[in-house]
Amino acid sequence: MPRRTMPLTPRALAFAIALASAPGIALAQNSADVCPLGAFTCPVVKHDFALCKKNDLLDFYVPDLPTGGDRDDSPAHVSGDRFSSPDSNIFHLSGNTSLQRLDQLLRADSLTYNADTTAYDAEGHVRYQERGMLFSADSMKGTTDPEFGVAENVRYQLLESRGNGVASQVTMLDRDRDKLHDLTYSTCDIHDRVWEVEAKTMTMDRDAGIGRAHDVTMRLKGVPFLWLPYLRFPIDKRRQTGFLYPSFGQRSRAGFFFSIPFYWNIAPNYDATLAPVWYADRGGMLDGQFRYLTATSKGTLNFDYMPHDRTTGTDRGYLTFQDQTRLPWNLLWNTSIARTTDKAWFQDFGQNLTTSTVTLLDSSSYVTSSGDWWNAGVGADVYQIVTPGVSDLAAPYRRLPRLFFNADRPIGGPGGPEWGVNAEAVRFVKPEAVGGDRFDAYPYLAWPLQGPAWFLRPELGVRYTAYNLPKPVAPGDSTHPTRTTPIFDLDAGLIFERDAHLFGNDYTQTLEPRVFYLRVPYRNQNDLPLFDTQPLTFDFWQLFTTNSFSGADRQMNANNLSLALTTRFLDQDGNEKLSASIGQIRYFQPQLVTLRPGVTAVDYSGSNYVANLTVALNDDWRVTASQQWNPNTRHTDVSTIGLQRRLWGDGIVNLDYRYRRGLLDQADMSSEIPVGAAWKLVAGYTYSMRDRRAIDAFAGIEWDSCCTAVRLLSRHYVYDYKGDSNNAIMLEIEFKGLGAYGERTGSFLRNAILGYQ
């Protein structure tokens, strides 16, 4: 990989944030729902108003008002400390007066009520509450039947959200519609308006879940920055058709971009989003998404289409489709399609290292069914290479079609012996390459035995594989080669327990020796093609498998004994606080089966020693490590170390080192550091010792207040195997309860920082 220089700013900032993650520099911050250590994904926190102060209006909120029934059929109840009545219909009340009709409650210093016309007139310290709104006013007049009212000089709070503000007048047109005049709206604290929307008029339609405002001005710290003649927006969680908030950012291979999405709520079970995007260096693109949900199907179609890329002069696009459909007779049809017009799509438009370094797209469609002891299916798999410079011939064989059947059933009831079979039939197709048909079946008999502190599982099976080829693998070979191989394995283990005391805590310690014997006679397989088979990556679980190859084109020979030992420390609640394992395979005969003919057979007495360690003695620290040492070469082949530290509530620091001989030698740091109640620093840095350069670095800052969040990220990353790199700047401004402007940063950070919240 050629060596390249990297801009200083992201690296310097990343290192600064890494140093800032040392204990003792930030203020404490509490987090009610902290993501567990080691979790790959954490819950998404939406509209977190934890930093907001309580609205004073809530001091007169009355909980548990009745909501069942119909207001039209409910009588009005009036009360007060004192009242007088000049006739039998008009009542004058004063002192803690109230007028209640089901969920509507009006309270004031004085109240006049006409029982004949249902007209009322409230004066002084007016407080009104209904199912969706709470407000105070100087005065209020109206009728209960028909439902109508006018309040003057209003301060309001929406009860289904944090939305609040003031209005010169509120007119309750009917039970579902209110009209506000000369109003303000914000989700900020009343006395600290970071942002605020002002409007001449606004109508809130609770039945439709829509707000409509006219002559709208949005202010940031009192400074106007946006004016709209008309604004339509949702006032509850129901989806509404309309424009979403714009996103923008910068990528070095595409330039500055800007997008305004449009959401179309087609039906309760259909919706679509269309987002025109303008890239300064490449031109216009249309992003789209269509989602559907029916009684038998659910799915999503995503597409990106650029009719003319100014840089390449070609039309470009990317499409994904996911569908799951239930068919008659307990059949399930799953489809997943991903295709792009060219190999450079992800490098030019990928948002991060993960997407920009995609090398292969997989598309498949299967009809499957299953029962209590079996599952079966038929389908197809196709692949597309999406790495510039890599030939299409490097793509895996297409499987057109593939059929499979798996079964596992006891003989004579639970606890006794069982029989099973794993079978597959595939036709392999590949342009400019020789394909063929393959049938592979493995019927077996097993007897799982176990007790409270032991288990024993012998298994005997026969693997039969047959091919139908248009031409032989080598001259003189058969076009219908077969392989029949008996396989015997015996898996056994013991579990010992004892009480242990460690670091002042009581634990239960286990000691779990395990042995796995495998016997597979050698079969010469040089006349078999290679369709979908590769050597498996060796790890701890390879000690207990019957084949060191993926796919069915190669079956290892074996006369092996795997020895492993595991110990665990469990707390009083049964939670695993420490787990340590070590194991090795002892070979009693050479490993004669190789991937390709002519490769030297492996004649070792033993495999790598494999060791794994996980330590999580409390909720703030977690350490993981794995090691593979080769006694035959006396070299370390694999080494990984990971440290995760929870800081100050929802802060996290991850330090990782990954080494695989001849392939990988990387160190990685990622962190999310709270600094006080409102500020967070985020950073990630991946350095390749083999290439002597950083291959991914990002650094950013997040300010999260009661009603506003601002996130700024700078990124630099390598996007291909040649070492070419890309820069990106991501800015997001979120007005909580209203929307966000800029490029969304949350999904990237959740992928980049283990444990990010």
Sign of the Cα torsion 301, 307, 310, 313 reads: positive
Show the domain range for 713. 1-30+669-757
> How far is residue 330's CA from residue 584's CA, in Å, rounded to a whole number?
44
Q: Name the DSSP class of 385.
A: E
Q: Do 545 and 592 fall into the same domain?
A: yes
DSSP state of 561: E
What does the alpha-carbon distance between residue 515 and residue 294 come to, in Å, rounded to a whole number?
51
pLDDT of residue 744: 64
Q: Calculate the alpha carbon distances from 96 to 84, 112, 149 in Å.
A: 14, 13, 20
- Structure tokens that stand for 360 in this block: 């292969």
> Which of 738, 646, 682 has the alpha carbon at shortest distance from 30?
646
pLDDT of residue 721: 66
504 and 604 within one domain:
yes
Tokens matching residue 337: 């399609």
By the 10 Å C-beta count (0-12 exposed, 13-18 middle, 19+ buried), 706 is classed as: buried
pLDDT of residue 728: 74
Q: What is the CATH number of the domain that holds 137?
A: 2.60.450.10
115 lies in the same domain as 207:
yes
SS3 content of the chain, % helix, strand, coil (to 5): 5, 55, 35
Based on the domain organization, do 294 and 317 belong to the same domain? yes
Task: State the residue for tokens 């059949």.
Answer: 331
In a domain, 461, yes or no: yes
375, two tokens: 């599952």
Instruction: Say if CB 229 and CB 237 are below 8 A apart.
Output: no
69 neighbors 83 (Cβ within 8 angstroms): no
Per-residue H/E/C for 202-266? EEEECCCCEEEEEEEEEEECCEEEEEEEEEEEECCCCCCCEECCCEEEEECCCEEEEECCEEEEE
CA distance 651 to 731: 21
Whether 15 and 145 map to the same domain: the answer is: no
- Within a domain: 609: yes
Same domain, 605 and 693: no
pLDDT score for 321: 96
Cα 269 versus chain centre, distance: 22
Question: How many whole angstroms separate alpha carbon 629 and alpha carbon 579?
Answer: 19
Q: Distance between CA 350 and CA 344 in Å, rounded?
A: 10
Q: How far apart are CA 243 and CA 600, in angstroms?
A: 64
Whether residues 90 and 139 share a domain: the answer is yes
User: Partners of 468 in the beta sheet?
Assistant: 437
CB 123 within 8 A of CB 101: no
Cβ proximity of 699 and 680 under 8 Å: no
Phi and psi of 507, rounded to 5°? Answer: -135, 165
Q: Are residues 219 and 261 in the same domain?
A: no
Q: How many domains does the chain have?
A: 4
HSE value, Cβ hemisphere, 13 Å, CA-based, for 550: 8
Strand partners, 218: 197, 226
The confidence score (pLDDT) of residue 389 equals 78
265, 352: one domain: yes
Last residue within a domain, chosen from 222, 237, 252 = 237
Cβ-based neighbours of 323, under 8 Å, separated by 6 or more: 297, 298, 299, 333, 334, 335, 336
Tell me, yes or no, whether 401 lies in a domain.
no
Angstrom distance (rounded) from CA 16 to CA 311: 37
In a domain, 109, yes or no: yes
Query: Which residues are CB-neighbours of 385 under 8 A, at least 6 positions away?
Result: 343, 359, 360, 391, 392, 394, 395
Amino acid at 644: Q
Domain final residue, candidates 396, 421, 451: 396
Domain annotation covers residue 74: yes
Q: Of the candidates 681, 675, 618, which has an alpha carbon nearest to the alpha carbon of residue 645?
A: 618
Instruction: Tell me: do 251 and 214 sit in the same domain.
Output: no
Helix (H) or strand (E) holding 451: strand 449-451
Domain-located, residue 421: no
- Give 142-175 as a 3 state SS string: EECCCCEEEEEEEEEEECCCCCEEEEEEEEECCC
Q: Looking at the structure, do residues 6 and 104 belong to the same domain, yes or no?
A: no
State whether 471 and 554 are in the same domain.
yes
User: Is residue 51 a part of any domain in this protein?
Assistant: no
Question: Looking at the domain assignment, is residue 427 inside a domain?
Answer: no
pLDDT means per 10 residues, the chain with 757 residues, are 32 31 32 58 62 79 78 81 84 88 89 89 90 87 88 87 88 86 89 89 83 88 87 72 74 81 89 91 92 95 92 92 95 96 84 62 95 95 88 89 95 87 96 92 95 95 96 92 97 94 86 97 94 92 94 95 95 88 95 87 88 86 92 91 84 89 88 84 88 86 85 78 74 76 66 69
Q: Which two tokens stand for residue 304?
A: 């990106």
In this prediction, residue 19 carries a pLDDT of 30
